[in-house]
Structure 1
Amino acid sequence: MPTTSLPRRAGARTAALAALTLAGTAAGAPAALAQPPGDNGDVKIHSVGTPFDDQRNEPKVCDFYLAAFNFDPGEMVTWTIKTQPPVPGGAQLPDATYPDNTVTIEQNGRAQTIPLGLPDGQYKLTWKTNLGHGAGKQKVFKVDCPVSKPTAPPGPNGGPPAGGGGLARDDAFAPVAGAAAVGLAAVTGVVWFRIRRRPHGV
């Protein structure tokens, strides 16, 4: 007489294997998600004046510095900045002005460089730690400094120089000023005429 015990046993074994597989996957998940030393953290481009603890990236700057966050304490970092796309003989860092391109990650996982400067253009930062396993962190950014406009020389201010006579500008001789000048001449003529007549007793 046929029985159904074998299929039940097979089903139980399948369920047990599935449970073990899930348990193994769950146990291995944290190990798979953990980053090896050196591959953690991020680096940002900051305009000079941006607070060190600001984790925003500024892709368009003038004078700038590099700010690192969440790296492993004590790591040594070497960074380079080159034109993007590469230009033979183009501006880059380090150079004679900024020869030191290494920083040490502090105990809080952060680091900053000194203020840096480059000619206007587009650049790529490469940030590599001594414990890193890949090409390092990379950022593309643009240097764009405002051009200062020359100031115009100051215009005339006040009356003409001493001894110059006249008015400061031709257009300042308005009709009112002209009428005042004519009236002054007429009054002067009347006074002179009266003075001339007195000696004759008229």
Structure 2
Amino acid sequence: MPLVPLVRRAGTRTAVLAALTLTGTTLSAVPAAAAPGDNGDVMIHARDTPAASRSNDSRVCDFYLAAFDFQAGETVNWTVQTLSEVPAESGSVTLDGTGAGRSRLIDLPDGQYKLTWLTDRANGAGKFKLFQVDCPDPGPTPTAITPSGPAPAGGGGIARAEALTPVTGAAAVGLAAVAGAVWFRLRRRSDGAA
């Protein structure tokens, strides 16, 4: 039996390992054929994003889901839940003949959410996306202005207690006394003479 030098065996072993590694890398780079029903994608769209847009909005307020590239006539079942796995919304989208469709408008409180979807023909746990609901603060709500002071003439109602201080009370009594004296004086003179 011929003896192969050790150096030559080590070089052959290295070459074989390199070839196997390269082959494994090339084989793993080939995408596996998607199972029927697992080939589409769902995008999160802000209210004003066109339904045909292939962009995904990761920060939204009111939003809807747009589905693309599924098999025609499939139904996509979806669930939106908080990151602590508490369900927040769920529903389904029936896709048209092109494999596309959209959900209703969804309104959730601000927070981090996870969208999971699975088609009715799919095998597996489904696919998911993380996103954030962040609606602008509407600002302070307007409050009713409460008028203070006496009601305007003919307005009826009762004056507020803060408007009736001792000074205003004395002024009102003095004004009433003067007005009464003038009225009596003018009434006594029926001929209008001074």
TM-score range, shorter chain: 0.5 to 0.7
Say whether 1:93 aligns with 2:89: yes
Contact (CA 8 Å) 1:91, 1:118: kept in 2 or not? no
DSSP-derived class of the 2:71 partner: coil
> How do 1:44-193 residues align onto structure 2 when only pairs under 5 Å count?
44-86=43-85, 90=86, 92-94=88-90, 101-150=91-140
**C-alpha distance in structure 1 between counterparts of 2:89 and 2:35, whole Å:** 29
Greater relative contact order (Cα < 8 A, sep 6+): 1
Report the equivalent of 2:190: none
Q: Which structure 1 residue ranges, 4+ long, deviate > 4 Å from structure 2?
A: none
- Quote the Cα distance in structure 1 between the aligned partners of 2:52 and 2:65: 12
Structure 1 gaps of 5+ residues are 1-31, 95-100, 154-202
Answer yes or no: is the 8 Å Cα contact 2:46–2:57 preserved in 1.
yes
Q: Which residue type is aligned with residue 123 of structure 1? A: Y
- d(CA) in 2 for partners of 1:80 and 1:40? 18
Structure 2 alignment gaps of length 5 or more: 1-30, 144-194
TM-score (ref. length: structure 1):
0.52
RMSD: 2.0
Percent sequence identity over aligned pairs: 49
The separation in 2 between residues aligned to 1:112 and 1:34, in whole angstroms, is 26
TM-score (norm 2): 0.54
